[in-house]
Amino acid sequence: MSVVDQLREALGGIVDVSAAVLDEARADRSGHAAAGRPLAVVHASTVEHVQQTMRVATATRTPVVIRGAGTGLAGAANAGEGEIVLSTRRMTAIHEVRPDDLLAVVEPGILNADLNARLAPHGVWWAPDPASRDISTVGGNIATGAGGLLCAKYGVVRDAVLGLDLVLADGRLLHLGHRSVKGVTGLDLTSLVIGSEGTLGVVVGATLKLRRLVPGDVCTLAATFSGVRAAAAASAAVTAAGVQPAIMELMDAASLAAVHRLLGLPAPMAGTAQLTIQTDGPAAATESDVIAAILREHGGVTAVSHDREEGERLLAIRRSMHPAMAALGTTLIEDVSVPRSAMPAMFDEIARIERAFGLTIPTVAHAGDGNLHPNFIFEGEEAPAQVWAAADELFRAAIALGGTLTGEHGIGVLKRRWLADELGDDQWQLQRQIAAVFDPLGILNPGKVFARDA
């Protein structure tokens, strides 16, 4: 009996082998597609569906790729020849909301925006806020260790998860973590799974750490600068001053111009970069005044709005970055992080790489935490050698500045060749050994993070 027949016998009609669905599962939003078609897509809607899938996979030694909404940017959820796709997109339930304990228990397929819309009547919210919040799932956020616009003040996914329900490669179900604020019993396997990109197990449930809705005002500042280095220096000065904005986003000239074209806004002056900053809470107005003074001292033409709707319109410019890049061609959206004080130096490095390779690299940054997203635009499905050569210099520059290969997108297949350069050989080998303890047969997301032949 074939693997697909065994899946159908165990799971019935949720096993999908239609050509369109199989082709869709080959790619995410990274511009990368896996070679060949997967065997089937299992549309799991229960924990038992996941367990049954993994039992069949273990018995037949068949690789499994775990997939949510398919909005990833590193190729970690792309499935190819001979692989089963295990989709958790239909697992969207909220099992519990406890405002008194500031926690919720949810399934992995729920979208970020949908989750917060359903939490709002309870007076609470989940803080991770990726730009893709309308289309990305909580499970995908956990798999990649996602961040977003608000993480400088409110933390990343790792700061907002108390526990996980995890199905192992052989189908066993583990309950990791705790519901209490504190908990240090044994090793912290919850944090280990966050950011593991489907290589350790299948997340089927999450106990999330919530926050109360922020009281008080929201103030939004938009400041334009004559160049991106000046904007980066201003953002570093805001951080050094000890002010804590909720959002601080930077757009260089190329990205700002592209978004203005997409939205039909007047073209900015050549070379103009923009900082968009938002403060919240009872001290929002006072903090915005302090920040505005710093921006003006650094040459920023600064406007301040105390209107929430106007603030969202200003932030919509930043949130439109991905579709603006997609309108230019196939986009490799990169993701490096550096210490916040090194932001100006990193933009200098990007300018150097642009000159060296004859490229324009539109770049946006979560300036509040030093996470940059340089974009490489090209034609066709696969990035040409010139782009990867430029990306190689970009990654090495970030590491040399005390930074990292990825702040929130993950390693997937696109960055695995540089992983040992950052980790060092000993830590790289140790991480591979840890993954093998969770998945002795190597069937979970093979070739992702660690190359198959490693």
In a domain, 257, yes or no: yes
**Number of domains observed in the structure of the chain:** 3
Say yes or no: 206 and 233 in one domain. Answer: no
State whether 113 and 255 are in the same domain: no
82 and 152 share a domain? no
The whole-number pLDDT of residue 132 equals: 81
Pair 180, 295 in one domain: no
247 and 329 part of one domain: yes
Question: What pLDDT was estimated at residue 367?
Answer: 95
Q: How many CA atoms lie within 13 A of 42 on its CB side?
A: 30
* Chosen domain end from 68, 87, 106: 87
Q: What is the pLDDT of residue 431?
A: 97
Residues 202 and 319 in one domain: no
Same structural domain, 162 and 289: no
- Based on the fold, state whether residues 183 and 275 are members of the same structural domain: no
User: Does residue 366 fall inside a structural domain?
Assistant: yes
Query: pTM for the full model?
Result: 0.93
DSSP assignments along 409-431, one per residue: S--TTTSGGGHHHHH-HHHHHHH
Q: What is the pLDDT of residue 152?
A: 85
Tell me the Ramachandran region of residue 257: left when phi exceeds 0, alpha when psi lies from -120 to 50, beta otherwise: alpha
What is the per-residue pLDDT for 453?
A: 61
Q: pLDDT tens for residues 156-165?
A: 999 999 999 9
**Which of these three, 186, 212, 238, is where a domain ends?**
212
Of the three residues 363, 381, 400, the one that is the final residue of a domain is 400
- Is residue 425 situated within a structural domain? no
The parts of the chain modelled with pLDDT lower than 50 are 454
Structural domain that includes position 38: 3-87
pLDDT per residue as tens digits for the range 23-74: 999 999 887 899 999 999 999 999 999 999 999 999 999 999 999 999 998 9
Task: Examine the domain organization and report whether 228 and 336 are in the same domain.
Answer: yes
How far, in Å, CA of 310 to CA of 219, rounded?
10
My answer on whether 83 and 99 are in the same domain is: no
**At 57, which CATH number?**
3.30.43.10
| Number of Cβ atoms within 10 Å of the Cβ of 411 | 23
Tokens 């990343």, located at residue? 156
Burial of 122 (0-12, 13-18, 19+ CB in 10 A): middle
Say if 174 falls within a structural domain.
yes
pLDDT for res 173: 98
Q: Residue 295's domain is classified under what CATH number?
A: 3.40.462.40
Bridge partners of 125, per DSSP, are 211
